[in-house]
Structure 1
Amino acid sequence: MEEITINTTTINLDQLLKWAGIAETGGQVKIMIDEGIITLNNVTVTERRKKIHPGDIIEIEGLGKWQVTKE
């Protein structure tokens, strides 16, 4: 599992994935959500602007698994 470090208390899922270089655009994130391949703490994500907190674990089927940490 890789780590993604943020310097804020929360970040939106789409912003996080773009910032970490996992997705290039918000549209790409939307497609992944529509396909049901993103989970947050083992729960399928249904919204792009889902708030992500340090300690959360994001998994994208076929791409990897990341834990969010605070700087």
Structure 2
Amino acid sequence: MDLSFARLDRDVAVTAMPIELAILLVGVAARQAASPTARAQARLGVALPVDALLAPIHGAFHRAAALALTRWQRK
């Protein structure tokens, strides 16, 4: 696997990455991509339709606060 960057000067010797190192890097990248942090970050990037932001299904902009107020009012 050749991961060298082709620069403007063509007289540079091309170097190849050792296979063991390439396999190690692929494994590290796969574990990082599957981590809980990476999955949470990927969910943050998902764009919701504007209608879902302005009119959520449960009817409250902050559901936990709405439930707390409803429980408080019932007491």
Question: TM above 0.5, one fold?
Answer: no
TM-score normalised by length of structure 1: 0.21
TM-score normalised by length of structure 2: 0.21
Higher Cα radius of gyration: 2
Q: Which has the higher helix share?
A: 2
Q: Which has the higher strand share?
A: 1
